[in-house]
Structure 1
Amino acid sequence: MEYRSLGQSGLKVPALSFGAGTFGGSGPLFSHWGQSDAAQARRLVDICLEAGVNLFDTADVYSNGASEEVLGQAIKGRRDAVLISTKTSLPMGDGPNDAGSSRFRLIRAVDDALRRLQTDYIDILQLHAFDAHTPVEEVLSTLDTLVRAGKVRYTGVSNFAGWQIMKSLAVAERHGWPRYVVNQVYYSLVGRDYEWDLMPLGADQGLGAMVWSPLGWGRLTGKIRRGTPLPEASRLHETASFGPPVEDEYLYRVVDALDAVAAETGRSVPQIALNWLLQRPTISTVIIGARNEEQLRQNLGALGWSLTPEQVAQLDAASAVTAPYPYFPYRRQEGFARLNPPMAG
């Protein structure tokens, strides 16, 4: 296993980490991700640890806390061998203080997560969304309190805009509070928006990326191709509306390129899509999910080899899209590109 620094911190994390959203699945979204019970989850954790994957990511909102509970049961007796990443801020109820990042909510949410996970500390706590109703100073001072109390080791964000991250980092630096070291982002060959703003920000400010949904919300599994109907068993039938939209022709163009590289390398389409991500700038870890052992072992096969520069260029070209203003001039005009060379693509 390759281990990388988590952003500009001293914490080392595996290049691939495991997403526990498939644990204890319930509800209209998470039941389609997976429904692993404690015994099944323990087996998946066994396989991960054998491969050197020791970082497990979850969130309080995943199946209303059930994911954290099952993960806590699956790692029981080996807490020192794993790193736990969890997230909070999204609604966990209908009450006025059941959502957000207020001091009241964060302290209660962390205590609840510790109880469900059966641990006394969280290695990486990430805010699942920006809370526009709570002052940034209140959020960061509370996170500082949690770090000083030993309940949280490192902090980060997910689904934040660039300006929201920069404002938070500036406030943290001004007061001497812990800076965010990780940004959990959606990034894939059919979702490259991360490259326009958040990737350069991460490189400049020392935020490592934890990539979620690296297979484009299940679109890059190798089961969807031009002229082929969506398989009946595909969870996209139920979950596509929850994720970022992808135009059919764009998807087919990317899959055609993946198929071509697969023919050259003998690797599977998911392995190629994951390997492409592992070579991108600022990436600390790519979160893989699995509902069974076969899927997990297949995804672990993305490690230990590298796409050639020519193959990367082929995938880059197939997945390229026109960036929005003010980013598109940097790619199209020599003067802008000279001052702001693109980091990827």
Structure 2
Amino acid sequence: MEFRYLGNSGLKISEITYGNWLTHGSQVENDTAAQCVRAALDSGITTFDTADAYANTAAETVLGDALAGERRASLEIFTKVYWPTGPKGPNDSGLSRKHILESIDGSLARLKTDYVDLYQAHRYDHETPLEETMQAFADVVRSGKALYIGVSEWDADQLRAGQKLASELGFRIISNQPQYSMLWRVIEDKVVPASEELGISQIVWSPVAQGVLTGKYKPGAELPAGSRATDEKGGANTIKSFLNDEVLTGVQKLQPVADGLGLSMAQLALAWVLQNRNVASAIIGASRPEQVSDNVKAAGVKLDASVLSAIDDAIGSLAERDPAKTVSPQSRPS
């Protein structure tokens, strides 16, 4: 495993982060989830990402149980706040002071830890004054309940405004967690340059485009049984935008590139996002422990200019690049 600094901080995290968005507490039984976490630890992963909203708090509980007994100082545990949780009342979502301060305590209890290494705003809250949100995060840091603060899917202007307030309050935003893959490059034009200016790293989710970049979805073919595209608990909705024959045909052109490097298609996709110098880590999920062991082999892989050119020839024109696609709900979800 290779490690990178997270933003302009002294915190190092593993190039591959284990995440449990659509798996723990939902698609994967708890015993299998624990096996996947064990495989992550055995593979050298030290960084684990979750959120209170995943499976309506159940994912945090599963991760906390799976990590119980591990040396806490050897792990980096990340969670998030914003999306609705619990009974989904009027104050059970967003980035109000009330919701943030109540949510961090709930997350710590479920994760069985006294602190998280990174506490992240899961989206930008248009209904709460940014000053209120950043003051609450400052208080979370000062209380020792979170060591660092990050955000997720904030646009360039939001990052600049948030970092200005954070600096005035005595802390820094060190990370952003956006979607990023060969097929989804919307952060490249504005978010990445702003982040480099502000000392913020990306921790990217869906680097394999919900599994599309593994090559298992073939143009004109039936969806593989048991795949995310057939999951009615949420997986099918997240992947459908990539499931068209033009995209799937382009993805198939990556197979010779991967073969030439001795990589799987998934490893190639993970290695590609890690070539971006502003990316600190790529988040992987897993429904089987062997998926973890396979994907971590992307850490440390260097792709030369000819390989990157071949990838662009196959995929470049099919990728979504519109920076306006980095967007948060205009009102709090309920």
Q: Which moved more, 1:218-227 or 1:124-133?
A: 218-227
Q: Answer yes or no: is the 8 Å Cα contact 1:25–1:63 preserved in 2.
A: yes
Q: Distance in 1 between matches of 2:321 and 2:39?
A: 40
Q: TM-score, structure 2 length as denominator? A: 0.89
Deviation at 1:325, TM superposition (A): 8.6
2:49 matched to 1:53? no
Deviations 1:44-78 (A, max 9, x none): 22222222210000000000111100111111111
Deviation at 1:144, TM superposition (A): 0.7
Against the structure 1 CA distance between its residues 75 and 247, is the aligned structure 2 distance closer, same or farther, given a 3 Å change threshold? closer
Q: Which moved more, 1:237-246 or 1:163-172?
A: 237-246
Q: Secondary structure at the match of 1:195?
A: coil
* Matched AA of 1:189: M
Q: Of 211, 215, 236, which residue of structure 2 is paired with 1:218?
A: 211
Q: Of 255, 264, 270, which residue of structure 2 is paired with 1:274?
A: 270
Matched residue, 2:36: 44
Q: Of 132, 142, 149, which residue of structure 1 is paired with 2:126?
A: 132
Q: Distance in 2 between matches of 1:49 and 1:247?
A: 33
Q: Distance in 1 between matches of 2:321 and 2:92?
A: 37
Aligned pairs, how many?
317
Structure 2 gaps, min length 5: 325-334
Instruction: Map 1:102-113; keep pairs closer than 5 Å.
Output: 102-113=96-107
Higher-Rg member (1/2): 1
Q: Distance in 2 between matches of 1:279 and 1:41?
A: 29
Deviation at 1:164, TM superposition (A): 1.5
* Matched AA of 1:278: L
Deviation at 1:249, TM superposition (A): 4.3
Q: Answer yes or no: is the 8 Å Cα contact 2:187–2:321 preserved in 1.
A: no
Q: Distance in 2 between matches of 1:91 and 1:227?
A: 37
Q: TM-score, structure 1 length as denominator? A: 0.86
Instruction: Map 1:99-248; keep pairs closer than 5 Å.
Output: 99-173=93-167, 175-238=168-231, 239-243=235-239, 245-246=241-242, 248=244
Q: Secondary structure at the match of 1:194?
A: coil
* Matched AA of 2:25: G
Structure 1 gaps, min length 5: 27-33, 327-345
2:84 matched to 1:96? no
Q: Distance in 2 between matches of 1:234 and 1:41?
A: 17
Matched residue, 2:57: 65
Q: Distance in 1 between matches of 2:296 and 2:242?
A: 26
Q: Of 75, 79, 84, which residue of structure 2 is paired with 1:86?
A: 79
Against the structure 1 CA distance between its residues 325 and 271, is the aligned structure 2 distance closer, same or farther, given a 3 Å change threshold? closer
Deviations 1:116-158 (A, max 9, x none): 1111101100011111111111111111111011001000111
**For the aligned residues, what is the CA RMSD?**
2.0
Deviation at 1:251, TM superposition (A): 1.6
* Matched AA of 2:83: L
Deviation at 1:102, TM superposition (A): 0.7
Q: Secondary structure at the match of 1:133?
A: coil
Q: Distance in 1 between matches of 2:52 and 2:239?
A: 19
Q: Answer yes or no: is the 8 Å Cα contact 1:89–1:101 preserved in 2.
A: yes
Q: Answer yes or no: is the 8 Å Cα contact 1:88–1:127 preserved in 2.
A: yes
